[in-house]
Amino acid sequence: MNDAMRIAPSLLSADFAKLGEEVTAVIAAGADLIHFDVMDNHYVPNLTVGPLVCQAIKPYATVPIDVHLMVKPVDALIPMFAQAGASIISFHPEASEHIDRTIQLIHAQGLRAGLVLNPATPLQVLDHVLDQLNLVLLMSVNPGFGGQSFIESVLPKIEAVRKRIDHTGRDIWLEVDGGVKADNAQRVGSAGADTLVAGSAVFTGGRYKQSIGAIRAQALLGQEGRWASRPEVA
Ligand code: DX5
Ligand code: ZN
Rounded to whole angstroms, the Cα distance separating 34 from 65 reads 5
- Which run of H or of E encompasses 137? strand 135-139
- Reported as a single tens digit per residue, the pLDDT across 100-141 is 999 999 999 999 999 999 999 999 999 999 999 999 999 999
CA 12 to ligand 1: nearest atom: 9
Mutate to test the pocket of ligand 1, among 7, 10, 176 (most ligand atoms within 8 A of CB): 10
| Global confidence as pTM | 0.97
pLDDT band at 226 (very low <50, low <70, confident <90, very high): confident
CA-wise closest residue to 156 among 121, 134, 195, 188: 188
Enzyme catalytic residues: 37, 177
CA 200 to ligand 1: nearest atom: 13
DSSP 172-201: -EEEEESS--HHHHHHHHHHT--EEEESHH
